[in-house]
Structure 1
Amino acid sequence: MTLALRCLAVVVFLLLTPSSSAAATDPVGRWPLRPTPVVERTFDPPDSPYGAGHRGVDLLGRPGQPVLSALPGTVRFAGALAGRGVVVVGHADGTRTTYEPVAASVSVGEVVTAGARLGTLEAAPSHCLPRACLHWGWIDGETYLDPLRLVGAGPVRLLPLWRDLPVSSGRPIAPIPASWRPAENGYALLLRVAGLT
């Protein structure tokens, strides 16, 4: 097995390992625009609470298009905020989804189902001017999450190239340098199963 394949095995393991407890329990949601929209700008979390970044995703739409709740929940806010129409829906797991700019058709305290109409997409102010787009966010406490995870379009998770053990080319496998070997048991197990240690 080449060094490139060994590195790929480690990368695959890292990608398959959830980075937080939320990653293992993401709820299954719906796109807030129909048909499935084009993602104009992806999630780019800030490095610090006040740092630069993009705390959600921008989905291309058209003015007047219905905006739908991604998950069931209770409307926590529906109104103008900093000159934009905003709707915030709180969910049973403690997270919130946000939608802007939206002309709300729901009221605070209203219970909504996944796919329920929250309002209509406004033309401006929009992150995508002169086009209209929905800024869709997902927040857990004070932590911004990638809302594309709710619809299975978040970070790519690769699957292993083999089911049980890798196929050997018959060539000897050079050991992985000790400085590359992570200390965690999961990594060691992966490397042992892959025949790399």
Structure 2
Amino acid sequence: MCVRSIRERTLMRTLIALVTALCLVIGAAAPADAAARGVLPVPGRVVGAFAPPDVRWGSGHRGVDLAASAGVAVVAPVDGVVTFAQDLAGRPVLVLAHGDTRSTYEPVVASVDVGTRVSRGQVMGVLEAGHSCAAPVCLHWGLRRGETYLNPLSLLGGEVILLSDADAAAIRGG
């Protein structure tokens, strides 16, 4: 079993956060097939990066948190079918199936019924306060293929490039 030091884990999470931020910045450049590219489910910045666990049962952050305002519309990032839209463990959750993947959104009060086909950019519900994150209100957005958690920002398309700390600070404006 591989045990990472606190410093190594912090460095890895910082790197993941930088890559996540870069995915959003690179999203401004149109890919060759813009129709296949997804959109953000809410207008907001990433305040919690994707940090999958080292082992399937381990701790980690199995999605991204996007800062937003309570009551903001949550839209489908890609075309899909709503497969779940109700409270789960006291929180409103919506699940969208698209191909061999499915994405999750919480806390979202659905405005569409289970079985509804939605198109990219179509409103699926509204964001509610209640998810614990680094912003007053945020959307937790997850993505899975089978039992494997994926970075939901991958639905946006684009290319990932690793930045130096100085370049990342320049992008953040700091």
Same-fold call, TM cutoff 0.5? yes
Conservation of the 8 A alpha-carbon contact between 1:148 and 1:154: no
SS at match of 1:156: coil
SS at match of 1:149: helix
Report what 2:144 is aligned to. 139
Conservation of the 8 A alpha-carbon contact between 2:63 and 2:140: yes
Shift of 1:152: 3.9
Structure 1: state its 5+ residue gaps: 1-26, 159-197
Structure 2: state its 5+ residue gaps: 1-35, 164-174
Q: What per-residue deviation string (whole Å, max 9, x for no partner) do you get for residues 50-100 of structure 1?
A: 1100000000000000001111010010010111110000012x1001110
User: 1:155/1:52 Cα in 2 relative to 1: closer, same or farther (>3 Å)?
Assistant: farther
Report what 1:31 is aligned to. 40
User: What's the RMSD between the two structures over aligned residues?
Assistant: 1.8
Shift of 1:156: 2.4
Where do residues 15-164 of structure 1 align in structure 2 (5 Å cutoff)?
Answer: 28-34=37-43, 37-92=44-99, 94-124=100-130, 126-128=131-133, 131-152=136-157, 155-156=160-161
The one-letter amino acid of 2:125's match is: G
Percent of residue pairs bearing the same amino acid type: 48
Q: What per-residue deviation string (whole Å, max 9, x for no partner) do you get for residues 135-183 of structure 1?
A: 001111110101112224774268xxxxxxxxxxxxxxxxxxxxxxxxx
Greater Cα radius of gyration, structure 1 or 2 = 1
Shift of 1:112: 0.4
Conservation of the 8 A alpha-carbon contact between 1:149 and 1:155: no
Q: What per-residue deviation string (whole Å, max 9, x for no partner) do you get for residues 102-134 of structure 1?
A: 01111111100011111000011x122771100
For the residues of structure 2 that align with 1:46 and 1:102, how far apart are their CA atoms? 25
For the residues of structure 1 that align with 2:161 and 2:106, how far apart are their CA atoms? 26
For the residues of structure 1 that align with 2:47 and 2:105, how far apart are their CA atoms? 15
For the residues of structure 1 that align with 2:129 and 2:143, how far apart are their CA atoms? 22
